[in-house]
Amino acid sequence: MRTSDLANYKRALLDCEDALNRVNLHEEEGYTVRFAIFSANLTNFLPEIPQSEHAELFKSLLTNLAFESFERNLLQIGDFCDVKGNIKSLKSNKTPQIFCTFHLGSYRIIANLLIRMGHNFSTIVRQDVYSKQIESMMSYTARMKEKYDTTSEVSVLNAEDPQILLKLVRELKSGRSLLVYLDGNTGTGDEKLDPVDFLSQKINARKGMTYLSYITGVPLVPVVSYRKPDRTNMLYAGEAIKAESGTSREEFSTKTLQYLFDFFAKYVASYPEQWEGWNYIHNALINREDSLQSPPNSAYKRIHYEFNFSRYSIFELQDAPVLFDKILYSTYEISDGLKNYLLKPPFVNPKQALGKFIFKELVRQGILI
Q: Which domain holds residue 321?
A: 289-364
| 189 plus 133 within the same structural domain | yes
| 278 plus 304 within the same structural domain | no
Does 188 reside within a domain?
yes
pTM: 0.91
Domain boundary among 227, 261, 284: 284
| 309 plus 256 within the same structural domain | no
Does 245 reside within a domain?
yes
Q: Taking 80 as the threshold, does the pLDDT of residue 2 lie above it? A: no
Q: Under a CB-based contact definition with an 8 Å cutoff, are residues 194 and 207 in contact? A: yes
Domain boundary among 284, 302, 336: 284
Q: Taking 60 as the threshold, does the pLDDT of residue 10 lie above it? A: yes
| 118 plus 232 within the same structural domain | yes
The sign of the CA dihedral 249, 45, 98, 219 is negative
Q: Note the pLDDT tens digit of each residue in 226-266.
A: 999 988 999 999 999 999 999 999 999 999 999 999 999 99
| 208 plus 339 within the same structural domain | no
Does 178 reside within a domain?
yes
* Euclidean distance between CA atoms 263 and 268, whole angstroms: 9
For residue 186, what pLDDT is reported?
56
Q: Note the pLDDT tens digit of each residue in 56-91.
A: 999 999 999 999 999 988 999 999 999 999 999 999
Nearest to 213 by CA among 87, 93, 97: 97
In b/e form, how buried is each residue of 171-182, taking b as 16+ CB within 10 angstroms? bbeeebbbbbbb
Beta strands per DSSP E along 229-354: 233-237, 312-317, 320-325, 330-333
Neighbours of 82 (CB within 10 A): 10
Q: Note the pLDDT tens digit of each residue in 268-277.
A: 999 999 999 9
- Count of domains in the chain? 2
Does 359 reside within a domain?
yes
| 187 plus 107 within the same structural domain | yes
Does 9 reside within a domain?
no
| 274 plus 138 within the same structural domain | yes
Does 50 reside within a domain?
no
Helices (H) and strands (E) in the chain, counts: 12, 12
| 220 plus 261 within the same structural domain | yes
For residue 1, what pLDDT is reported?
60
Residue 284's identity, in one-letter code, is: A
Distances (CA, A) of 66 to 21, 72, 109: 11, 10, 15
For residue 29, what pLDDT is reported?
80
For residue 288, what pLDDT is reported?
73
Does 145 reside within a domain?
yes
- Average pLDDT, integer, range 119-135: 86
Q: Under a CB-based contact definition with an 8 Å cutoff, are residues 160 and 188 in contact? A: yes
| 79 plus 216 within the same structural domain | yes
| 195 plus 315 within the same structural domain | no
Residue 38's identity, in one-letter code, is: F
For residue 56, what pLDDT is reported?
96
Q: Taking 90 as the threshold, does the pLDDT of residue 356 lie above it? A: yes
40-44, 105-109, 314-318, 326-330: least confidently modelled range: 314-318
| 179 plus 312 within the same structural domain | no
Listed in sequence order, the residues at least 6 apart from 200 whose beta carbon sits closer than 8 Å to its beta carbon are 44, 45, 46, 47
Does 33 reside within a domain?
no
Q: Taking 90 as the threshold, does the pLDDT of residue 291 lie above it? A: no
Q: What is the chain's percent helix, strand, coil content, to nearest 5?
A: 50, 20, 30
Domain boundary among 241, 263, 284: 284
Q: Taking 60 as the threshold, does the pLDDT of residue 305 lie above it? A: yes
For residue 25, what pLDDT is reported?
87
pLDDT band at 188 (very low <50, low <70, confident <90, very high): very low
| 78 plus 186 within the same structural domain | yes
For residue 337, what pLDDT is reported?
93
